[in-house]
Amino acid sequence: MYNTRSYKSSWSNGANKSGGSRSGGYRGNRGGGRRRGGYKQTIDPSLYISTPTEVEVEQKYVPTKSFADLNLEDVLTRNITEMGYVNPTKIQDQAIPQILNNKDILGIGKTGSGKTGAFLIPMVNKVLKNSHERVLIVTPTRELASQISVELRKFSAHTNIRSVVVIGGASMYGQVKQKIRTRVCYCNTR
């Protein structure tokens, strides 16, 4: 049995009974903490607290064209208006004219920036102008394929454009049957 009084005093004095420095309460540092230079180590909490930084305020984008200036098919322009879009977003303003002129683009933008509309609007317009046009959209996830399908239905309302989402794990018979009557096909790569 050990003496509680001597145990407490060895801790309070910073030394054990043998007169050596305390290292974890035992001689020879058997897994305990160690004081350096006789001072207790402390953690500076300010190192782990992030300080606010100045945020650069984004300027509101002013589009160079309106949807009416893009020479889209009338039914597509009406559908865009019905969806509540007034002016194109930055990516739509820059991408749609390029796609309409048969240029390849690579667009990068945040969620909600209008990327889906940036490629669906010119795609629907091309299919409306040429009834023999077919489109294949390949997505990395089922969820994205479904989201694009919902948006396409809105852009292609009141037209004869039909689409089908082709994904694994669903009935092949139903997907093939739908695909025969469609002009736009979404495929999931997984």
Q: Domain 67-188 is of which CATH architecture?
A: 3-Layer(aba) Sandwich (3.40)
pLDDT of amino acid 37: 60
**Residue 170 confidence class, pLDDT cut points 50, 70, 90:** confident
How does the average pLDDT of the chain come out, rounded?
Answer: 78
Q: Any idea which of 77-81, 113-117, 173-177 has the lowest mean pLDDT?
A: 173-177
Q: What is the reported pTM?
A: 0.63
Query: 154 pLDDT exceeds 80?
Result: yes
For the chain, first and last CA: distance in Å? 67
> What is the C-alpha radius of gyration for the chain, rounded to an integer number of angstroms?
33
- Residues 120 and 72 sit within 8 Å (Cβ to Cβ): no
pLDDT of amino acid 187: 58
Structural tokens at position 101: 């002129």
**Measuring CA to CA, which residue among 150, 139, 134, 185 is closest to residue 164?**
185
**Residue 96 confidence class, pLDDT cut points 50, 70, 90:** very high
Indicate where the chain has its CATH 3.40.50.300 domain(s).
67-188
Share of the chain above pLDDT 70, in %: 71
